[in-house]
Amino acid sequence: MASAPSGFKVRLLPEDEYTHTPDKASNYNESMYFNMFDPKRKTGGWFRLGNRPNEGQAEMSVCLYLPDGRVAFMYGRPKIENNDEMNAGGMKIEVIEPFKRLRLTYSGKVVVLAKPFDMADPARAFKENPVVPCEVELDYEGVSPMFGGETVKEDGSALDIDPEKSFAKAHYEQHMAAKGSFRIGDETFEVDGFGLRDKSWGPRYWQAIHWYRWLPMNFGRDFGMMISIVTNAEGQQRQGGMVLKDGEYDLIKSCRIDSDWDENWYQTALRAHVETESGETYDVEGRVMSLIPLRNRRKDADGEELNTRITEGMTEYRCNGMTGYGLSEYLDQIVDGRPVGAGH
């Protein structure tokens, strides 16, 4: 479980696996995210469903990395009337047993990108690439303890949060095993591998963070990591995450990530150095196998357009003589045409 500053505590209950009663913030968001990667078939994907009930809509994303380098993707903002369930836009997430077993399904369409970089221009990407039916069925099993929860005051009362600057008031993560299938057009991919999931709820704007690097990875059932560096506009940095080893989490005390870039400032490779609270150190090398660039845009109160870029790379990792798979997710605000964290 993540630690909290003095005067606060982190609370996580089995009922937090289900949806919460939304607060009054217009940008209230309750989201669940899952990824998984099959180490033998070199196939994987990630999935997110975020309810924004006070806005009357959800955010739904499906991204599938295929063995030949193609990426299948779909994004939607389906209408919702409440926050009663995680079921919108063809995606449904069911809690079978809190903290232990969950099921994710998707029935809808995807655009199949032979050149995933095309998604830098979404309108053109959807126009020039085939859109086909897609079915996803995945059963998830927790292989780790829970990490995180809701930070509350010592007496259990909620924190006061500025919705304009919030990314989430509660957040937790867990390493998982996953098994199931992807059906894309007339192709079927049976998958069996590992991944990570998270859940958050509370007010959220994607522009609340200046830039971050998020590296979830699995080397098997007994060894995985999540490495995180979050930086604000003033340059203050929060380094953290955890190492899963033999069924226990060892929290990351400090970490460093050095990245290689292409001409678009997309990551192509990385090296991470990790030091944990128990005194262990790890050096990780990552090679990006397939990457899709995504974006989120909105206007601020002054009418100025804010542009956030999120690059999602399926990444092969090496550590301690083992090979694993996961994601390298790099979020940057774009200023003067360039990601603000470029070079980091």
Instruction: Identify the pLDDT of residue 157.
Output: 58
Specify burial of residue 15 (Cβ count, 10 A radius: 0-12, 13-18, 19+): exposed
CA–CA separation, 278 vs 270, rounded Å?
Answer: 24
Query: What's the pLDDT score for residue 342?
Result: 87
Looking at residue 207, its pLDDT comes to 53
Structure tokens at 260: 């290689």
**Where do we find the tokens 């006061």?**
160
How many other C-beta atoms lie within 10 A of the C-beta of residue 211? Answer: 21
Write down the pLDDT at residue 43.
Answer: 98
- Per-residue pLDDT tens digits of the chain, which is 344 residues long: 455 555 678 899 999 999 999 988 888 999 999 999 999 999 999 999 999 999 999 999 999 999 999 999 999 999 999 999 999 999 999 999 999 999 999 999 999 999 999 999 999 999 999 999 999 999 999 999 999 998 877 666 565 544 444 444 789 999 999 999 999 999 999 999 999 999 999 875 555 688 999 999 999 999 999 999 999 888 899 999 999 999 999 999 999 999 999 999 999 999 999 999 999 999 999 999 999 999 877 666 676 777 889 999 999 999 999 999 999 999 999 888 889 998 77
- How does 111-143 read in b/e, with b if 16+ C-beta sit within 10 Å? bbbeebbbbbeeeebbeebeeeebebebbbebb
Q: What is the pLDDT of residue 162?
A: 46
CA-based nearest residue to 224, from 114, 325, 79:
325
Alpha-carbon distance of 65 to 243, in angstroms, equals 25
Q: Which two tokens mark 232? A: 């604000």
Six-digit token string for 310: 């999120």
Q: What is the pTM of this model?
A: 0.92
d(CA 85, CA 82): 8
How many whole angstroms separate alpha carbon 87 and alpha carbon 83? Answer: 9
**Are 38 and 16 within 8 A, CB to CB?**
no
Who contacts 227 (Cβ-Cβ below 8 Å, separation ≥6)? 213, 214, 215, 217, 241, 252, 255, 257, 272, 274, 284
Q: What angle do CA 205, 311, 222 make, to 5 degrees?
A: 95
Q: Does residue 89 sit in helix, strand or coil?
A: coil
DSSP 160: P
Mention every residue, 6+ apart, whose C-beta is less than 8 A from residue 97: none
Contacts of residue 336, Cβ cutoff 8 Å, sequence gap at least 6: none
Whole-Å CA distances, 100 to 17, 54, 168: 10, 30, 23
Please say whether the beta carbons of 10 and 145 come within 8 A. no
Residue 182 has what pLDDT? 98
| Res 339: pLDDT | 92
Task: Delineate the domains of the chain, giving CATH numbers in brackets.
Answer: 23-154+165-204 (2.40.370.10), 208-344 (2.40.370)
